[in-house]
Amino acid sequence: MEKLGNGSKESDRLMEFNQVTDSPRVRIGVLQHEDEMTFRATGGFVGFDLNGKKVFEGKKEYAYKITHDTSDAGEIRYAVRMHIRGSEREANERIGEWKSSGVETTKLQVGQKIPLVGGKVYDNREFWILSGTFFSEDEAEVHRRSLPDFGGMKVVPVITRPARGDLHLEGLVVKGGIRLVPANKSGRFILDNIRVGIGFHWDHRESQEY
């Protein structure tokens, strides 16, 4: 779980990460095809938008409901990933090398720089060198086979238009998503009526605690 800072002005604005390793905590996808979610917390917590801005304070054992109204599905295409590089400079060099060979490529940044409390920055970026944009995996695979392969090339999905939507929580409207962070490291969240085993014979609903 993520935990909050010490109440300083900076910790009110930024989501805090593991204070030992300065690494973000694990995020697990739980819900699929649900229009609403009800949850409770075992202690106080704070909600942040996806930019790390504090937008909500929650209380212990109160049943909160999150719903959405407007939403727009994202758009996915397929490309051939030629290389992965750890810096933008290396990626640009590779793009230049392919261009000199007559192959047009583009650069995609995966990950981001995340500001941490205390002025530190966690940088988990990597840069993908891509060739082509196709509507189907099969089309992209045909393109991959036409390229000189030095090993490691593969067809990958690429989000060309991100999904968009608004979440509603206790009268608050948050665009894109909300991060819920317990006020102390022992804090837990209880999600009610969660569907598990989707598509299997043991498909059912239950409460789950994280």
Record the tokens describing residue 75, joined without a space.
Answer: 């758009």
**Nearest by Cα to 187 from 62, 56, 40, 48:** 40
The reply to whether 140 and 194 lie within a common domain is no
Q: What is the pLDDT of residues 177-188, one digit of tens each?
A: 788 888 887 888
Model confidence at 59, pLDDT cuts 50, 70, 90, reads very high
The whole-number pLDDT of residue 29 equals 54
Q: Are strands 121-123 and 75-85 parallel, antiparallel or unpaired?
A: unpaired
Instruction: Determine the structural domain holding residue 117 and report its residue range.
Output: 75-161
Asked whether residue 3 is domain-assigned, the answer is no
Stretch 159-185: mean pLDDT, rounded?
82
Helix segments in the chain, DSSP class H:
9-13, 88-100, 137-146
Q: What is the pLDDT of residues 66-85, one digit of tens each?
A: 887 767 777 899 999 999 99
Distances (CA, A) of 46 to 12, 81, 178, 182: 9, 39, 10, 6
The reply to whether 157 and 101 lie within a common domain is yes
**Nearest by Cα to 132 from 124, 122, 142:** 142
Model confidence at 157: pLDDT above 50: yes
For the chain, helix, strand, coil in percent to 5 are 15, 45, 40
The whole-number pLDDT of residue 3 equals 36
79 sits in the region (left: phi over 0; alpha: psi -120 to 50; else beta) called beta
The reply to whether 142 and 193 lie within a common domain is no
Predicted TM-score of the model (pTM): 0.56
The reply to whether 148 and 172 lie within a common domain is no
Asked whether residue 28 is domain-assigned, the answer is yes
Model confidence at 19: pLDDT above 50: no
Model confidence at 150: pLDDT above 80: no
Q: What is the pLDDT of residues 83-118, one digit of tens each?
A: 999 999 999 999 999 999 899 999 999 887 776 656
Stretch 128-153: mean pLDDT, rounded?
91
In the chain, how many domains are there?
A: 2
